[in-house]
Amino acid sequence: MSNNTYYSIYSSPYGDIALTANEKGLTALAFQSGSAAIKLPEHTKKNESLFKEVHQQLNQYFSGERTAFDLALSPQGTPFQQKVWQALTTIKQGETKSYAWLAEKINNKKAVRAVGTANGANPIALIIPCHRVIGSNGKLTGYAGGLALKAKLLMHEKAQFTV
């Protein structure tokens, strides 16, 4: 198996989204307007056909037809980050959870700060729904795409939160 990385740009209602993938699955999804914008490495090749299913599911999500994604994912991270990201995938659309809930979900109640750091390092935003994690007080907390984008995504999903 080769180590090729491919990319595509998806135009969402909230701005351009850069997508990267390898043969195993999606490796990154980043809104290009936020601080987590992807700078594509030189060896990355454009391949729209590889992202056809991702684009289709994103179209369905933004049109309100899809509430969960079913895509092959290949995020790169530490075992701890992987555990946090896996727990994030259990938060359903329309729900929000706290960092304390996330720490408890991975059976490490004392790791609230580390969970927050792993949440912020999530390379596949939206599909691994890190935007659904808010403060214990119900208020929005950091998001690589910016708090305005986080609020728009949560409003799109009809989730409850405090500004």
Catalytic residues: 130
Q: Are 51 and 8 in contact (CB under 8 A)?
A: yes
CA distances from 13 to 6, 128, 137, 141 (A): 23, 19, 29, 22
CA distances from 160 to 133, 137, 155 (A): 11, 12, 8
